[in-house]
Amino acid sequence: MRVVELTARTWPALEELFGPNGAQGGCWCTWFFQTGAEMRANGSAGNKELLRARVRSGVPVGLVAIDDDRPVGWVAVAPRLGYSRLARAKVAAPVDDDLTDVWSVTCFFIHRAARRRGLGALLLEHAVTYAREHGARAVEGYPVDTGGAKKGSGELYHGTLGMFTGAGFELVARRGVNRALVRLTP
C-alpha cells in the first residue's frame, strides 16, 4: 500500500477511484470549496473540473491510497482557509481566532472492496504527516460520533470520532448530537 499526493500525474488514479459518479453524487470532493448553489450549478462535470483545476494549480487537496496499482482510498486534506464552506459551517466553527497554518481533514472515500481494513486510519496518519510537512501548526477534523452504532458509508465520509482520537486528536468541542471538532497539534 502506498499513499500519494493528488497531482496532475496521479489524477487518473482518483478518477478511477471516484468512478463516473464522482465519489458521492457527483461531488468530486468539492463540497467544502463552494456554496450549495455553485455545487448544483456545476453538476458532476463542473465539480470534476473544479477539482482538476485546483490540482493543476498546485493547491494541496488530498492523498490517494494505492494497493497493487489500484486506487482504493482518498482523504481530503488542505489548509482550512482554502475551504470556504468551513467558514459558514456550525460543525466547523473555529475554536480560536488564529486559523493561520491550520489544516483540515474533511473527507474520506474508501472503495467498498477496501473497507474494514484500517485504511481510513492509514489515510489519516498520512494526512497529518502531509499537513505537517507543508507547515501545519494544527490539523483539524469534523468527524461523526457513531456512539458505537453501525453506520453506512454515506454517513461516515468525515471519518469517525474514534478513528481521530485513536490517532491522537483531542476532542475540542461537541457539535450537536453526533458531530465533533477534533484537533491535533505537534
| Tally of CB atoms within 10 A around 36 | 9
CATH 3.50.50.60 describes domain 2-184: no
Q: Which three cell numbers stand for residue 128?
A: 497529518
The span from the CA of 80 to the CA of 9, in Å, is: 24
Return the percentage of the chain with pLDDT > 70, whole number. 99
Burial zone of 82 (CB within 10 Å; 0-12 exposed, 13-18 middle, 19+ buried):
middle
- Report domain extents, the chain: 2-184
- Kindly report, residue by residue over 136-155, the tens digit of the pLDDT: 999 999 999 988 888 877 78
Q: Mean pLDDT throughout 36-62?
A: 95
- Residue-wise pLDDT tens digits, 92-139: 888 888 888 999 999 999 998 889 899 999 999 999 999 999 999 999
% of the chain exceeding 90 in pLDDT: 77
Task: Check residues 112 and 77 and name the one with the higher pLDDT.
Answer: 77
pLDDT of the residue at 186: 67
Greater confidence (147 vs 53) lies with: 53
Instruction: Give the per-residue pLDDT at 66.
Output: 98
